[in-house]
Chains A and B, each alone.
Chain A
């Protein structure tokens, strides 16, 4: 068995900002853009039987068990022999039932399967972190919207030293940190949320300024565009390009600081 690691140097993230999202007052995703996707894709040749457990969930075939050779649990199957998979189908055939598992369970198809396997004696699989679809992003954005509201509930209200109550309720989530990324959120007085997702290593201090600048760009290039209607998704090229150059500029500054 040979394994092919695809590790394109060009694809190693140089930029530290992954995505920018804007969520409207009502929780709708009105803008999202990925500036740098961490697509670690791995190709590997497998014979039969497969020593990975694959399952179909959320419209993807994902690895559920049997992590090995850089193929991690949670990775999705992207293509077989260079042919892209859509949903759970490869061309006309169902990947899980007809291609991968059928050999033992359905002897009636054995011949076909053997033929199939003989023709291409080994499968070349490509795995990778599944990309979020736009729908999923919309769902996540509105989920974050409600989590923000939950965080803002008046649950803990410590007293100040002089006995007076501090602010009657907390703000929402401003920073959310994980092993792999950090999410910064800034909500304007009018209720729009600007969200920047960046890596954990980049300096947290510059992010507030960045978020404010994104707000400025929004007010300049989205709101002053007469063809943009409020609360609707932002499709303004000027906004895109200005945001892009802002992000690039920010990268340079951050890198030089680090």
Chain B
């Protein structure tokens, strides 16, 4: 079986620097296009959502993960996904008492490797593409969530904390034969 013709399963490794710089140029271009950081936040979220819709298929195809039956599963799968796509292993903390909310602590986030936020951009959520990706990806597996940053390293917090909240299961979108 020659691996050269069909490359399946081997995730190609790219430099995280290249990734960080590409993302940086994307954000700076968006800031050039629109002066309003709020607008950029919204755009990043929307882009992330569209990435998530597609990225989830890649994740499922490469990991053959079963359906998540509780939110703890979801947290675990998100950890795996961060490992696969960003090369970091975020810790899951701060579970709410009803276990429908948790936080991901993103240390060593490759996106912010060389970044310092200028003062006039204090409204900008630099990494806002990540919550969008999570929302889009989980929506494709019929789980509706919201995700947002509660702490941001770029804004002087000691770490980056991403909060994920379960909203509901999208029953009407559940394909038959998957229970």
Contact = CB atoms under 8 A, between A and B. Distances in A.
Interface of A: 25, 148-149, 151-153, 167-172, 187-192, 212-213, 215-220, 223-224, 230, 242, 245-246, 249, 253
Nearest to A225: B54
Nearest to B64: A212
B62 A216 contact: yes
Interface of B: 1-2, 5-9, 53-54, 56-58, 60-62, 64-65, 67, 140-141, 173, 175-179
12 contacts: A152-B178, A153-B176, A170-B177, A187-B178, A188-B57, A188-B61, A189-B178, A190-B175, A191-B178, A192-B57, A212-B61, A215-B57
Contacts of B9: 216
Contacts of A167: 179
Nearest to B179: A169
Contact of B57 (A153, A213, A219, A249): A219
Contacts of B67: 189
B149 to A, nearest CB: 27
A25 B65 CA distance: 19
Nearest to B54: A223
Given A152-B176, A167-B179, A172-B177, A190 B60 contact: yes
Contact of B177 (A171, A218, A242): A171
A47 B46 CA distance: 70
B60 A242 contact: no
